[in-house]
Chain A
Amino acid sequence: MKVPYYPGCTLHERAHDFDASARECAKALGIELEELPVWTCCGAVFPLTTDSVMDILAAVRNLAYAARLGDKVVTLCSFCYNVLKRANKVMRDDPEKREKANLFLLADTDARQGIESYLKEDYVGQVEVLHYIEMLRDLVGFDEIAKRVKKKLEGLNVAAYYGCMLLRPADEMEFDNPEQPTIFEEFLASLGCNVVDFPMKTECCGGFQIVNDEEIAIACSRTVMGNALKNGADVVVTTCPLCRYNLDEKQKEIGERVRDFERIPVIYFTQLLGLALGLGEEHLDFSGNYVDPRPVLVERSLL
């Protein structure tokens, strides 16, 4: 089964471990992620001001292009998912913005890619934006994944970190309960992990504020990682490159300031999935972290 795939800038340029592990896992589960032949940045953040049409154009352009290939598009980065899904909802529900955006796209060309117009027909939100974990649940099934597991991740204590962008605003994202989400726990249980209680799983990591003031991200990471540590997590899994960066890298500063703070590796959920499916370490690349996950995985006899 082929599924159109939107990687987004960060997976394309930096988070190769996330992108590669996701593609390999999908392949092992019988899905070929078919990268959109042409795509651009989604804009990274959804504009919360009501008058912005320009700010959603990049996202709409990608969606309109995806509509040429199929009825759905899968993505992994939480921010891309949030922006694409919310922009899609604007195109479905707001006739005025829909018309303006379509007029822009009609005149939008890309000579390098040989695209005369991004629009073949008006884009009205016909594509369904799916997160990779939703694809696993709906197109493969967690029960089926459990059957395909070659190496049960028994004894590994995992905390599932959701962050903000997958969940909020809940009425638009329709991803899971915004306060008590469970989809990642259900997924992790199918891999045989020991899922730990993690009340701070929906708390913000500081997001883009890392660029403005590092201290904001350090404080946020401390709250989240301190909670994971207290609940006995060996690893924290995430689905967002920015969360990964803030939660992983900022443990350096937290470790220097907080006595008895033990550093915990933060990895992508697809890396754990790959491990359980028996994929080789070369596809999973555990080398990109500040806090190296390999020692604990070796200790649990998983590497």
Chain B
Amino acid sequence: MRLELSAERIKGKLRERVEDLSGQKLSACYQCGMCSAGCPVVDTMDIVPSEVIRLLQLGEFEAVLESKTIWICASCLQCASRCPRGVEFSSICDALRAIVLRKRLSSPRVDADEVSPVMVSDAPQLGVVGALRKLNG
């Protein structure tokens, strides 16, 4: 992946928005990779958690907002629990999803009308409600 670095991109408005919405300081991350190593769903991600943070540090917001990763995080907070710098990747993910969903940058990942009938009839309601709140907005 080719990156073009510029102070303008790195200090852009979107960075401020992500930090505000997530309550996390992106520059706190020193790329140790504990979040990616401990993430239970990392195998399904296209960009691993520590890479997402690195890309955000470098101002590469589009790549991150278009990634599968932000929709795969299950908010289990294992990353946050193990981060030596106190960064909550799950919160950054929630912020990124909020940006996409609130600005309608893409359609919601889970559509209420398309939840499988098995889920609606059999699964715990909290799973369906949780998925809609996290992935539909």
Using a CB–CB distance below 8 Å, which chain A residues touch chain B? 8-10, 13-15, 41, 43-45, 47-51, 55, 77, 79-80, 164, 167-170, 178-179, 202-204, 206-213, 215-216, 219-220, 223, 241-242, 244-245, 249
Contact = CB atoms under 8 A, between A and B. Distances in A.
A208 B130 contact: yes
A245 B124 contact: yes
Nearest to B73: A209
Contacts of A44: 125-126, 129-130, 133
B75 interface: yes
A168 B78 contact: yes
Contacts of A79: 126, 130
Given A164-B78, A208-B126, A242-B126, 10 more contacts: A10-B126, A48-B95, A49-B22, A77-B126, A79-B126, A204-B76, A207-B127, A211-B128, A220-B40, A241-B124
Contact of B77 (A77, A80, A164): A164
A211 B126 contact: no
Contact of A215 (B44, B74, B132): B44
B100 interface: no
Contacts of B109: 212
Given A49-B91, A215-B44, A178 B126 contact: no
A219 B78 contact: no
B119 to A, nearest CB: 5
B22 A212 contact: no
Given A169-B81, A212-B71, A216-B72, A8 B126 contact: yes
Contact of A219 (B41, B75, B90, B93): B41
Give the top 9 A-B pairs by smallest Cβ distance, nearest first.
Answer: A208-B130, A204-B76, A211-B131, A48-B94, A168-B77, A44-B129, A164-B76, A208-B131, A241-B124
Interface of B: 20-23, 40-41, 43-44, 71-72, 74-78, 80-81, 88, 90-91, 93-95, 98, 109-110, 115-116, 119, 122-135
Contacts of B130: 44-45, 79, 207-208, 211, 242
B11 to A, nearest CB: 20
Given A10-B126, A168-B81, A208-B134, A216 B74 contact: yes
B40 A204 contact: yes
Given A55-B133, A219-B41, A10 B72 contact: no
A10 B126 CA distance: 6
A143 B90 CA distance: 38
B3 to A, nearest CB: 27
B36 to A, nearest CB: 15
A170 B81 contact: yes
Contact of A13 (B98, B116, B125, B134): B125
B17 to A, nearest CB: 10
A208 B127 contact: yes
A244 B109 CA distance: 24
